[in-house]
Amino acid sequence: MARSGSGSTWLVTSPPHGAWGAVVVASALASPLVAGCPGPEPTLDASMDDAAIDAGGDAGPDTGPPEPAPTDHCTYEPLPSLAHAGGTVTRGPLTAGTAEGFFAGPVSATLGAYTARAENIGGQGFFDARREPVAGAFATSVGVEARPRIRVLALSTGQDTPDTADDETVLLVKTDLGVGYQGLVHEVERALGPEYAGKVLIATSHSHSGWANYHGHAALQVGFSTFRRIVFDRMVQDIVAVSREALDARVPARIGIAYDEDFDPTDQVTHDRRGENDRFAGGPQKDNRLYVIRVDTTAGEPLAMLPMFGMHGTLLDADNVIASTDAPGGLERVLQEELPRDAGSTLPPVVVMHLQGAAGDVSPGGTGSTDCGGRDAEPFCQDFAKAETVGWAARDQIMAAYEAAAESMTDTLSIEAVSRSIERGPNWENFTVRDGALRYAPFDGRRPADRMVWANDAHTELLSPIDEFNAPFGAALCGGEGGVAFFGARGPAQMPNTAYMDESYSSCNQLVPRFMSFFETALDVEIGTTPVCDTTRTTISALRLEGDAPFGRYVISTLPGEPVTLLADRMRMLAQEADPGLTDDRYLVLGYTQDNNGYLLTAEDWLSNGYEPSITFWGPLDGEMIMERAVALLPAVLSDEREDTYDGQTHVAVPSPVEDFVADESMAAGVQPGTIPASSPAYLATQAGPMAVPAQLAEGATVHRLDNVYFTWIGGHPLHGTPRVHVEQDVEGSWVPLTRASGRVVEDGDLVLTWTPDPQEAPRAGDPPRVHYWTVQWQAVPALGQRGFPAISDRLALPTGRYRFVVDVPDGAGLLGTTQYMVSREFVVAPATLGVAVERAGGNATITVTAHAPHGFRLLDLRAGANRPIPLRGVEVTVGLSDGTSRTVTLDADGHATFAAPAGAITVTDAAGNTGSG
């Protein structure tokens, strides 16, 4: 047996990868040593016995056997019967429908999931004076780059007969949100009707730049700010509307699934980010399993592609306050343009839904593309282009799997979806795992830990029962090797006798009132009584898809949190033990779905310190317990009897706080919305920065390719609806929206929309209404996948001519509005000016031809990026010489060409008519 050490290191130094990153650092900063208060660094006297180190001091009088902490303060609601319970799983013809829409927002809510966006902890994203009440104490979002989306795939069997208990419909919903929330699942099911109870799976992208303020989990407010019912209710409405559209769009379909066990071997798309568990994995390990689900019509027209692998959505950091779908969205946008839709097709664009696997310890890759310069000059500049590079890096391998999925497609299927609400804390007995081999000692909050953790010197086997995790109300911010909790080793947050241990216990903070009040004050949130109610229940689901050979049987199990690779590996092992047919290629672990309980790790991994254990609530056995309950759901989903897995269960009710912050800023006084101001105000929040306010777009203005075009108009407060903007081109006298090969209108991802109120501060009672300026920024290059311009190398070839912006009124489902709100002044796109450098030797000239958009944000080249000089690679250009002659030369991969030339200027013109001299 091995006894935990007693080192004196006590600062949590893990980097802030995710939601609570800044809180981990704040935990360290709260210590007297770091704060600069007088007093020596605490040390652990070797002569002190364990009881003397006990953070709780004297264990006190024996009050009898411990009992779990009460949860009387929690409101639980009974779950309805699972839809179609009592029927029989039968095989029938498959129908499938897809739809996609946008979350209505709004801009002005904060973005999740970085605590560093809290003003009093990280202070990131506060670039001007605005402090919108809806955002709480977190940075207000100021605009949209890639709109957070909702994508739905509806799968049904038996739809050619009247609805019976033997039929089945399941809705797989992908949302661009930071994490799942079980309240969303149950409210969407309720709104859709009893026939969908337990049949809705809501997956999330884990973008850290999606809308927040929707999460009712009180403790997760530290990453998502104050829960706002108005934001939550709008999200429910949006998801329901897009789900109903998918249901209405069902057509006879077929489905296939492919598997690649060696995805991205060179780490271009993703890479491992948790070195603390390398000793268990034999070195760095990431989620390298790729699954691709393909759905077509029975006529062979593609409907949906669902690539699944783990990848964090953290390309953009906490200083970003412009909504974005981050790396997962960049992947989806590239892939959906690989599946073009004919202009005359009656089918909607092919839906591409990236699903998360074991992303808990996997970071996104990609290539840095945008140099934003100094933050003071360009505070809103972000490397949005990097997300697209992730998609290009993943494209070929995913498309190969997509093609392989066609080999096993079936149009006849049996479908079974089951869901269950499982109990977690505060009852320690719920956390018994590994067939009883690992369990907790009772939580009494008083008993000193024996500090005996490992059963062997190699630190690979654990002793049980575990008495170090002794937190009756839960604990958080664990993972700091040799550390202490808030308020010191003898403070109320320290678990008894765990200070300065080598394992993650040492920095754990019990969720006691003093600890919670610190965050309530710092973040201006109300966490309330502990245990936190949403840590006492969570929701899991499983889905079976089974057809004739060669399709066979597949099962998808959901995990309500951030699974790391080792835990997913163990889950696959247990699933195969439960059913040998569930081999790795046929058992899909879907993370970040249905709910969020922080990081899900194996017990040994949790004890290895680092950042991930900091975002957990019930210690080293919590992740394995949730995972094992998900595996325990397999018999129900594999049975041909439709069991009621909701029977007798409850879920945590969604809060309904009083919200008096929504002041309707009257649009009846002052400057009217829909007005184009004569000039720009003194300050606009754009990527150009506060020192370079763009001039108002003039009628007939000339804009050169690669340049940015800005259009500013006066609209309403974002709570009235975030506008949607698209670009139109004059084609033979008719205004035609720019459209992608996929059939989608170009309206985001290639534009940046920002909002600036004047004055910036939210009005108080009696104040006059503010003027709300909206600005769209568009770089004059072809959009990703724009019809006729499929390659990155085409981005110097935007057709010249007349263009304009059109602003649409959003509707409640985030779908394209039919009412045209307003139209910009027209402008003319002209060719770009190329950079031409000339070097001479003898009678030869060597030219280097480049294009440069110093203030650009769109990806122009996979190597050089967005706003650095871009060589024209491997293309033919026409060179005009000083003697009046011209010739065609081919540039090499670095934009060079050498040829005989007389003295004098050389003019270069590319195939698109861009020209330059040198």
Evaluate if residue 29 carries a pLDDT over 60: no
The number of CA neighbours under 13 Å toward the Cβ of 269 is 26
Rounded Cα distance, 472 and 425, in Å? 8
Task: For residue 588, give the nearest of 907, 172, 876 by alpha carbon.
Answer: 172
Chain CA centroid to CA 429, Å: 33
Give me the pLDDT at residue 104, please: 84
- Distances, alpha carbon 435 to alpha carbons 356, 468, 622, 625, 711, in Å: 28, 21, 15, 11, 64
194, two tokens: 């009893």
Q: Which residue type is seen at 284?
A: P
Give me the pLDDT at residue 159, please: 52
Evaluate if residue 796 carries a pLDDT over 80: yes
Percentage of the chain with pLDDT > 70?
89
Rounded Cα distance, 77 and 864, in Å? 55
The band of 721, judged by pLDDT with boundaries at 50, 70 and 90, is confident
Higher per-residue pLDDT: 437 or 716: 437
Evaluate if residue 840 carries a pLDDT over 50: yes
The band of 65, judged by pLDDT with boundaries at 50, 70 and 90, is confident
Question: 3-state DSSP helix/strand/coil percent for the chain, to nearest 5?
Answer: 20, 25, 55
Query: Does residue 192 contact residue 240 with C-beta atoms inside 8 Å?
Result: yes
Q: Which residue in this structure is represented by tokens 């700091």?
A: 480
Rounded Cα distance, 915 and 281, in Å? 55
User: What does the pLDDT average to over 25-52?
Assistant: 33
Ranges 21-35, 616-630, 662-676, most confident: 616-630
Task: For residue 627, give the nearest of 608, 647, 601 by alpha carbon.
Answer: 601
Model confidence over 340-361: pLDDT tens digits?
999 888 899 999 999 999 999 9
Percentage of the chain with pLDDT > 90?
78
The number of CA neighbours under 13 Å toward the Cβ of 714 is 17
The band of 11, judged by pLDDT with boundaries at 50, 70 and 90, is very low
- The set of residues, in sequence order, having a beta carbon less than 8 Å from that of 544 and lying 6+ positions away, is 89, 414, 415, 416, 417, 553, 554, 555, 637, 638
If you write DSSP's letter for every residue of 621-668 in order, what string do you get?
GHHHHHHHHHHHTHHHHHSSB---TTTT-EEEPPP-----------SS
Model confidence over 506-542: pLDDT tens digits?
999 999 999 999 889 989 999 999 999 999 999 999 9
Q: Which residue type is seen at 214?
A: Y
- Distances, alpha carbon 537 to alpha carbons 534, 619, 837, in Å: 6, 15, 66
Evaluate if residue 481 carries a pLDDT over 50: yes
Give me the pLDDT at residue 664, please: 52
Give me the pLDDT at residue 761, please: 87
The band of 822, judged by pLDDT with boundaries at 50, 70 and 90, is confident
Cβ-count burial of 704 within 10 angstroms (0-12 exposed, 13-18 middle, 19+ buried)?
Answer: middle
User: What does the pLDDT average to over 459-480?
Assistant: 96
Q: What is the DSSP letter of 441?
A: P
Query: Does residue 865 contact residue 370 with C-beta atoms inside 8 Å?
Result: yes
**Beta-bridge partners for 538:** 422
Give me the pLDDT at residue 660, please: 67
The band of 56, judged by pLDDT with boundaries at 50, 70 and 90, is very low
Give me the pLDDT at residue 62, please: 60
Task: For residue 709, give the nearest of 855, 841, 584, 537 by alpha carbon.
Answer: 855
The band of 163, judged by pLDDT with boundaries at 50, 70 and 90, is low
Q: How far apart are the first and last CA of the chain?
A: 76
Rounded Cα distance, 535 and 723, in Å? 37
The band of 466, judged by pLDDT with boundaries at 50, 70 and 90, is very high
User: What does the pLDDT average to over 893-901?
Assistant: 96
Evaluate if residue 325 carries a pLDDT over 90: yes
The band of 116, judged by pLDDT with boundaries at 50, 70 and 90, is very high
Task: For residue 424, give the nearest of 516, 517, 525, 561 by alpha carbon.
Answer: 561
Higher per-residue pLDDT: 810 or 369: 369
Evaluate if residue 697 carries a pLDDT over 90: no
User: What does the pLDDT average to over 856-864?
Assistant: 95
Rounded Cα distance, 170 and 332, in Å? 22
User: What does the pLDDT average to over 496-514?
Assistant: 95
Evaluate if residue 53 carries a pLDDT over 60: no
Evaluate if residue 483 carries a pLDDT over 80: yes
Which range, of 11-20, 441-450, 468-477, averages the lowest pLDDT? 11-20
**Beta-bridge partners for 727:** 805
Rounded Cα distance, 905 and 47, in Å? 85
Q: What is the DSSP letter of 355?
A: B
Assessment of whether the complete model's pTM goes beyond 0.85 = yes
Evaluate if residue 306 carries a pLDDT over 80: yes
Q: What is the mean pLDDT of the chain?
A: 89
Higher per-residue pLDDT: 673 or 489: 489
